[in-house]
Amino acid sequence: DQLYGADGLFGPTLAVGDAAVNPDDPGFIEGMKVIGAAGGEEFNERLNERLADDQQGNLIYGGQAYDCAIVIALAA
């Protein structure tokens, strides 16, 4: 069986914590593939360095949010 998820489903607490899919069995979604919008590898590494410890790896829409911030700054 294959289980795929889109970017709206992704979150760093998907398998662990109070909001987990199955708190009693974190391996429940083992092998799940999540496809999401993210920046390039180098950008993601730089972004990840600046994220709080509990947000590490949560890079969905990071590139898009960065682009929006730059456009707003240029328009101001």
Q: pTM of this prediction?
A: 0.50
- How far CA 7 is from CA of 21, 25, 34, 76, in Å, comes to 16, 22, 7, 30
DSSP bridge partners of 33: 4
- DSSP assignment string, 13-38: TSSSSTT-S-TT-GGGGTT-EEE---
Domain residue spans in the chain?
1-36, 38-76
Q: Is the pLDDT of residue 13 over 80?
A: no
pLDDT tens for 23-75 read 777 777 778 777 777 778 898 899 889 888 888 877 778 888 889 999 999 99
Q: What are the residues whose beta carbons fall under 8 Å from the beta carbon of 11, sequence distance 6 or more?
A: 19, 58
pLDDT of amino acid 19? 66
Predicted confidence at residue 10, as pLDDT, reads: 66
